[in-house]
Chain A
Amino acid sequence: MELLTNPLSLLIILPAAAGLALLAVPPGKTGALKGLALGATLLTFLLSLKLYAGFDPAQAAMQFQLDKPWLPAYGINYFLGIDGISLLMIMLTALLMPVSVLASFSYIKESQRAYYACLLFLEASMIGVFAALDLFAFYMFWEGMLIPMYFLIGIWGGPRRIYAALKFFIYTMAGSVLMLVAILWVVSAHHAATGAWTFSLPALYGGALTAQAQFWLFAAFALAFAVKVPLFPFHTWLPDAHVEAPTAGSVLLAGVLLKMGVYGYLRLAVPLFPDAARVFAPWLAGLGVVGIIYGSLVAWSQRDMKKMVAYSSVAHLGVVVLGIMAFEPSAAAGAVLQMANHGLSTGALFLLVGVLYERRHTRLIEDYGGLAKVMPGFSAVFMIVTLSSIGLPGLNGFVGEVLVLFGSFKVYPWLAGAAVAGVILSAVYMLGMYQQVVFGPLRHTENKVLPDLSAREWLYLAPLLVFIVLIGVWPGPFLRRTLPAVNSYIALSQQKTAPLPAEINIVAGGEEKE
């Protein structure tokens, strides 16, 4: 029963089992449904705290490992394990889930059973992505997450939900299928070299693939992750999906799903194909910076708050990609921290937009104004979150962004310089929105009677605020736990695994194999 005693495996099985249990609840009993969903997600969060407590910050190796044969004929194992990066991401996921469940209590009125079941299945596969050390298991969790998210957007989403759901699913899937071929290729090459079938990531690290092969393989992986992050030309699914999804869906999309793309670079693409990664890195970092500036400019021009937050995600993730592609310890550590930061602040922003939307059923900035008078509590929270999102010192966003910018400046001075411009832009549009929504006169009579945050809303915003401030003033514990993982990422990225000559010639086709 190691499957249940290992905390990582339990973190995956618990939400999945709770999701199945939800399906067995009779449809009418919404109270029981909500209670069960909230209880399961809270229990998962408590378990993740146990994970945090038991995590040894000094150790670079994967912890809490579980390695069970799953499909031995193919060398596929149910292989789990985490380092500091995964720990942070799993904790972020586990924190955002009860928040999302709480935020859905009044918003979701139809087919609640299926809704909460979808959320729980989503949680299981998201944690699975961050815990998997077997390529097959990773791919399964990675793709398996599409089904619940697709239904979340498509059934409970906004007016253009069908278009957004289809676009999300097809974009992501189309991006990932080539990664599957690449996975098969890597495993097959490893078998040809060593005679053993394995999908285990640590075993595949440092495999001697020619530079040419690495180039194509990295490209296939990078495409899948670039769609998910999303990097600049592949981002078009994001505004649609984020805007149409229900609040909880947007929170999880921005908070966790986007991080999966970055995590994919950190865990798979770069360490597996370091030679190619170094060739691609400046380009990817450049795309990240293009994303920062483009995302900021487009966000600036939005009138819909949710769209603005969605485009600001493109910009924030651009910073993260710049950080991880610099292969510089402080930049990478900052990027990892920024992943968590973005999850917290953008998640909170989507929640706040949801709070307004539930009251007024509009997300247009011009429909608001002067909310400080009627909703003082809301305005205060909104202030903190906005400042966190633009990176004010003392809040979490600052630590991550500064580390990334300083670190990457050593490697890509021009790109880092351009990125700073983007960061300034984010202050312009976020503060602009804040000012128009919260300050000024109360132009619309409907807004005069808006109630302030309810107890339930305080309850789900409070944990996010706590972490926003906590990471801002005391990032040490989080950084300390990620540092060994970041250092091993940098070390893996600097390996030279390709046999000489290590030049890459771009030639189409690849039917023959080394």
Chain B
Amino acid sequence: MITDPLSYAASALSGPLLLVLAAFGCLLLPLFIKRLRGTQGLIALGAALVALTFLRRAPSAEFSLFGGAMLLSPLSAYLWAFALLVLIVVAVLSIARLAAPAESQGEYYFLLFMATIGLMVLVTAGDLFTVFIALELLSLPVYALAGIRRSKPGLEAAYKYFMLGAFGSGMTVMGIAILNALYPSLAFAALKAAPAQPLALAGFLLVISGFAFKTALVPFHMWVPDAYEGAPTQVSAFMAAAVKAGGVIVLWRLFSLFDGGPVREIFWWLAVLTAVSANLMALAQKGLKRLLAYSSVAHAGYMAVAFFGGRQGFEAVLYYLPVYAMATIGAFSVALLLEKEERGPQIEDLAGLAKSRPWLAGAMSAFMFSLAGVPPLAGFFAKFYAFAGAVNGGYTGLVVIAIIMSAVSIYYYLKVTVVMYMKPAANGHTPEAPGMIEAVIFLMAAGVILAGVFSRPLLTLAAEASRWF
């Protein structure tokens, strides 16, 4: 069933277009209509929900738009749905507890929407120019979001993130310039067929390291702990779930341009370095948000391992992204619920949570066990699929390293459950009336508990999407 490309494209593109309108609406309307002040969150949430309804089941075909700049396919539909769902959850969290000062609410949602649009364009981009523009559209708002509170930790986070991010962007654009000089077209399809040249390799490596920054692969991860810790927790959740997803997808596109050779070797080393050092560094963390930051770096490493599984690996990555996002958003929501200062709670602050709020502690344990990859939670299935592809591709050694490091990671995830269940409370948690944050937490917990054992629906979607690569 091939629908008319134009009509499909029109309906698919209405989603991001609506987001653009809503972004400006959030920014401008309250300036003119006083009554709308404070309601930006609801406008944003409504718009995102409507945008989600535009995502119909995509026909099994690829539509190339704007001269190949954007490729619409079931893959893009899958990733757009992912981006919008992350946006909706983050919006709910931001309504439940303001991430930005009251006078900056308009800017906050404007930036959040712009970043999401950037992500949506990034994952559908068909050539490197579009990739770069989308990358900037994604990155610049997130720099600002990190520091939107204009407080010291926030500004430090934004500053570090911006400096290193700008460095990464600079490398990317340098690499693209080299490739542009060498090859007639920068479309991925053309690059795949292009003859190899030594200088082109340098270009590719520059682009790859730029995206390794975004995805936070070691040694390009230095900004992650500070940025995740200092940024408003809602923004940290968005960075871990959405920004990383964009980086992973582009890295996969770049990775799959090569059948072998030095680029694959470099990815091998990136994956190993990331899995090993992120997990080791996470062992020493005391802050919950910092722990989650290092955990996000480690998970980027596991996804990089999945790259070596070919199409099966890509399918695994597509399954991995939402599963990881659920666990990490859930854990950040717990941090948000318990945070008394901007840097978020220390792990020790969770002491006695099992006594005062047993269900919350249960949900948090589900996130921790899922991130650690313990069956029967979804995180185990995600790792299983990721590693299955790589073993099948003949990279058993890589998987052995990654899986041993994943066993190391158990220690720091367990540490959180130890504190919650086995340490007496130092300061009593005040039981609050359940609110929207709890709703998000329990929804995510249900997700990580069910998406594993019943992974067929999500896996089927991921498999279908992975075919349109």
Contacts and interface: CB of A to CB of B under 8 A. Distances in A.
A339 B384 CA distance: 32
A162 B418 contact: yes
Interface in A133-185: 136, 139-141, 143-144, 146-147, 150-151, 154-155, 161-162, 165-166, 169-170, 173-174, 177-178, 180-181, 184-185
A509 B397 contact: yes
Interface stretch (B79-87, B196-204, B241-249, B406-414): B406-414
B392 A139 contact: no
A390 to B, nearest CB: 37
A511 B398 CA distance: 8
A74 interface: yes
B392 A181 contact: no
A513 interface: yes
B456 A169 contact: no
A180 B404 CA distance: 11
A151 B406 CA distance: 20
B406 A181 contact: no
Nearest to A171: B407
A111 interface: yes
Contacts of A27: 358
Contact of B403 (A70, A150, A170, A181): A181
A154 B392 contact: no
A506 interface: no
A114 B355 CA distance: 11
B375 interface: yes
B374 A143 contact: yes
Interface string A15-37: 00000000000010000000000
A73 interface: yes
A150 B416 CA distance: 13
A140 B375 CA distance: 5
A510 interface: yes
A147 B374 CA distance: 8
Nearest to B405: A177
Contact of B418 (A111, A166, A509): A166
B173 interface: no
Contact of B396 (A73, A174, A510): A510
Given A162-B418, A170-B407, A181 B391 contact: yes
A1 interface: no
Interface in A444-499: none
A124 to B, nearest CB: 10
B399 interface: yes
B110 interface: no
Please tell me the size bucket of the interface on A: 35 or more
B399 A184 contact: yes
Interface residues of B, number: 36
Contact of A181 (B394, B399, B410): B399
A359 interface: no
Nearest to B406: A177
A173 B394 contact: no
A178 B400 contact: yes
B421 A185 contact: no
Contacts of B380: 140, 143
A188 B455 CA distance: 21
A181 B374 contact: no
Interface string A114-127: 10000000000000
A154 B384 contact: no
B388 interface: yes
Contacts of B422: 154-155, 161-162, 165
Interface in B420-469: 421-422, 455-456, 459-460, 463
A173 B376 contact: no
A511 B421 CA distance: 42
B403 A155 contact: no
A511 B395 contact: yes
Given A162-B422, A511-B397, A144 B376 contact: yes
A150 B455 CA distance: 25
Nearest to A513: B394
B376 A174 contact: no
Interface in B329-346: none
A312 B355 CA distance: 36
Interface SS, A side: helix
A136 B376 CA distance: 11
A143 B372 CA distance: 12
Given A140-B375, A181-B400, A511-B394, A174 B421 contact: no
B324 interface: no
B376 A140 contact: yes
Which of B411, B418, B456 is packed against the most chain A CB atoms within 10 Å?
A: B418
B463 A73 contact: yes
B431 to A, nearest CB: 14
Given A71-B456, A144-B374, A170 B399 contact: no
Nearest to B456: A71
A111 B410 contact: no
A366 B455 CA distance: 56
B71 interface: no
Contacts of A511: 394-397
Interface string B337-362: 00000000000000000110010000
A181 B407 contact: no
Interface string A92-126: 00000000000000000001001000000000000
Contacts of A173: 374, 407, 410
A150 B422 CA distance: 11
B403 A188 contact: no
A2 interface: no
A512 B399 contact: no
Contacts of A70: 456
A73 B459 contact: yes
Given A162-B422, A166-B411, A166-B414, A185 B403 contact: no
B307 interface: no
Given A154-B418, A177-B406, A185 B396 contact: yes
B387 interface: yes
A184 B411 CA distance: 24
Interface string A399-420: 0000000000000000000000
Contacts of A174: 404, 407, 410
A393 to B, nearest CB: 44
A510 B407 CA distance: 21
A161 B203 CA distance: 55
A360 interface: no
Contact of B410 (A141, A170, A510): A170
A219 to B, nearest CB: 12
B421 A154 contact: yes
Interface in A337-394: none
A191 interface: yes
A185 B398 CA distance: 13
Contacts of A155: 354, 421-422
Contacts of B455: 71
A150 to B, nearest CB: 8
Given A71-B456, A188-B391, A139 B375 contact: yes
Given A147-B374, A174-B407, A184 B397 contact: no
B302 interface: no
B369 interface: yes
A423 B456 CA distance: 51
A144 B375 contact: yes
The 9 closest A-B pairs by CB, nearest first: A184-B391, A140-B375, A174-B407, A188-B392, A177-B403, A144-B375, A143-B375, A177-B407, A511-B397
Given A73-B460, A140-B376, 14 more contacts: A70-B456, A72-B456, A154-B418, A155-B422, A161-B422, A169-B414, A173-B374, A181-B387, A181-B391, A184-B391, A188-B391, A510-B396, A511-B396, A513-B396
10 contacts: A27-B358, A73-B460, A140-B376, A150-B414, A154-B417, A155-B421, A162-B422, A178-B400, A184-B399, A188-B392
Interface of A: 27, 70-74, 111, 114, 136, 139-141, 143-144, 146-147, 150-151, 154-155, 161-162, 165-166, 169-170, 173-174, 177-178, 180-181, 184-185, 187-188, 191, 509-513
